[in-house]
């Protein structure tokens, strides 16, 4: 009986102790929240005990994370590599087409510049869509025909110079006989003002890359590096289109004539875009340029003109004043009757001026 009582007493004490602990902790929360209860010592000790373990576990965690990340990364790399390969393929294709477009852009820009510069010509831009090249013929096919205004015997050029002429104009395409074709003959002359020797440029079957300028009289003023331009004779090719330059002068077999070997200004192997001259007219005269002035004494023509005008005005004013004064003197002397008009007589004024 006493044991039971003792147990009950102990249980009661324990319950009271528990309640006391609970209440204390409950109160602690509010005291701590209001800053009236400080646990710095406990915190320090706890941190000191826990910190080494936390550090160790953190290290393990970071290593595990690193391993997991590495594995994930490796698994992703394969897929990424696959995608990148695909991307590289696409980008390479794009790069090629971009380079192609850039090249085309550059060519067309050059052609456009030429079109703007050659105001005497009406040009139709065309692309080379076919090519036939052998030792006996050099013909290209362009993508412009009669629908675009192209007709037979029209000259074909690039910004660099003469290409050839249209031999057969179709509805939407045309055949162009190149300058280097053996059947081609172009009336030309040497551009150098002292020379102006005329000749005919024709294709050379033996050396298709270098046409010849023939029919040049011996001892003519034709030199290496002379530029050859079209002469305009014959009516097919307008005058002044660059054909090429002389790289060699040789004697003809007969001995009376000589011929020049030409390096064409147009690279016929790289011919992609050309322009057909559908109409030509005489070039407008060049604007008159003022002559070169001596250094240190340069004058602005407009400024000089203004000064001259101003000086002329001053002279006129002075003349008027002198005339007025003379008129007054003459009136005072009684030689002349006073006039209502102020303007003097022209002959008197002239004399006064003199």
Partner 1 sequence: MKIIGLWALLLVLSYSLQTSLLTFVSFDGFSANLMLLLTVSVAFLCGHEKGVCFGFMAGLLQDATTGGYFGTAIFSYMTAGFVFGKFSVNLFREQSLLPVISSIPALALHFAITIAFLFLLGRQIDVIKFLKFDFWPTAIMQVVLAYPVHRLVLSLNEFSKKDRRKKF
Nearest to 277 by CA among 141, 143, 186, 153: 153
**What angle is formed at CA 179 by the lines to CA 178 and CA 182, rounded to 5 degrees?**
90
Q: Give the tokens for residue 41.
A: 């010592």
> What number of other Cβ atoms are within 10 A of residue 294's Cβ?
6
Using rule CB under 8 A, residue 67 touches partner 1: no
Tell me: does residue 20 bind partner 1 (CB under 8 A).
no
What is the smallest separation between the CB atom of 70 and partner 1, expressed in angstroms? 14
Identify any residues that bridge with 201 across adjacent strands, giving them in sequence order.
Answer: 186, 213
Which stretch, 62-70, 169-177, 236-244, 294-302, contacts partner 1 (CB under 8 A)?
A: 62-70
Q: How many CB atoms lie within 10 A of CB 238?
A: 21
Q: Which window, 24-32, 129-137, 139-147, 283-291, contacts partner 1 (CB under 8 A)?
A: 24-32
The Cα 2–Cα 40 span in angstroms is 47
User: Does residue 36 interact with partner 1 by CB under 8 A?
Assistant: no
Segment near partner 1 (CB under 8 A); pick from 41-49, 84-92, 230-238, 290-298: 41-49
Q: Whose Cβ is closer to partner 1: residue 60's or residue 88's? A: 60
The residues with which 214 forms a beta bridge, in sequence order, are 200
Judged by CB under 8 A, does residue 136 bind partner 1?
A: no
Q: What is the rounded CA–CA span in Å between residue 233 and residue 196?
A: 14
Q: Which residues of 38-62 are buried (b: 16+ CB within 10 A; e: fewer)?
A: eeeeeeeeeeeeeeeeeeeeeeeee
**Near partner 1 by CB under 8 A: residue from 13, 14, 218, 250:** 14
Nearest-5° Cα angle at 238, 184 to 190:
75
Nearer to partner 1 among residue 13 and residue 92 (C-beta): 13
Q: Does 10 bind partner 1 (CB under 8 A)?
A: no
CB-nearer residue toward partner 1: 12 or 61: 61
The least CB distance from residue 63 to partner 1, in Å, is 10
Is the CB of residue 262 less than 8 Å from the CB of residue 245?
Answer: yes
Nearer to partner 1, 25 or 292 (CB): 25
Q: Which is nearer to partner 1, 54 or 321 (CB)?
A: 54
- The piece of 45-53, 125-133, 140-148, 234-242 that touches partner 1 (CB under 8 A) is 45-53
Sort residue 161 into left (φ over 0), alpha (ψ -120 to 50) or beta.
left
Judged by CB under 8 A, the residue of 12, 61, 130, 234 near partner 1 is: 61
**How far is CA 114 from its chain centroid?**
14
Q: Binding of partner 1 at residue 22 (CB under 8 A)? A: yes
By CB under 8 A, name the binding residues for partner 1. 14, 18, 21-22, 25-26, 28-30, 32-33, 37, 39, 42-43, 45-47, 49-50, 53-58, 60-62, 64-65
């Amino acid at each position: 009986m006493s044991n039971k009582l003792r147990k009950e007493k102990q249980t009661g004490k324990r319950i009271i102790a528990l309640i006391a602990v609970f209440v204390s902790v409950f109160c602690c929360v509010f005291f701590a929240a209001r800053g009236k209860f400080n646990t710095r010592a406990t915190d320090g000790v706890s941190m000191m005990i826990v910190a080494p373990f936390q550090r160790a576990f953190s290290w393990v965690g970071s290593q595990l994370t690193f391993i997991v990340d590495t594995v994930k990364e490796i698994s992703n790399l394969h897929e990424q590599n696959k995608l990148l390969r695909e991307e590289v393929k696409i980008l390479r294709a794009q790069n090629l087409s971009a380079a192609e477009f850039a090249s085309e852009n550059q060519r067309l820009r050059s052609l456009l510049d030429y079109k703007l510069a050659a105001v005497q010509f009406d040009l139709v831009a065309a692309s080379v869509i076919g090519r036939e090249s052998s030792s006996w013929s050099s013909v290209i096919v362009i993508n412009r025909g009669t629908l675009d205004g192209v007709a037979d015997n029209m000259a074909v050029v690039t910004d660099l110079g003469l290409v050839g002429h249209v031999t057969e104009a179709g509805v939407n395409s045309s055949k162009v006989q190149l300058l280097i074709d053996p059947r081609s003959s172009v009336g030309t002359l040497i551009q150098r003002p002292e020379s102006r020797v005329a000749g005919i440029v024709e294709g050379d079957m033996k050396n298709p890359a270098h046409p010849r300028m023939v029919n040049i009289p011996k001892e003519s003023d034709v030199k290496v590096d002379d530029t050859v331009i079209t002469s305009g004779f014959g009516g097919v090719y307008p005058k002044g289109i660059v054909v090429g330059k002389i790289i060699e002068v040789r004697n003809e077999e007969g001995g009376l004539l000589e011929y020049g070997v030409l390096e064409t200004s147009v690279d016929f192997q790289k011919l992609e875009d050309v322009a057909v001259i559908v109409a030509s007219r005489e070039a407008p005269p060049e604007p008159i340029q003022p002559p070169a002035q001596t250094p240190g004494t340069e004058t602005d023509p407009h400024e000089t003109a203004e000064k001259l005008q101003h000086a002329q005005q001053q002279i006129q004013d002075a003349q008027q004043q002198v005339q007025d004064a003379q008129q007054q003197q003459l009136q005072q002397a009684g030689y002349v009757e006073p006039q209502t008009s102020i303007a003097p007589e022209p002959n008197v004024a002239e004399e006064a001026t003199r």
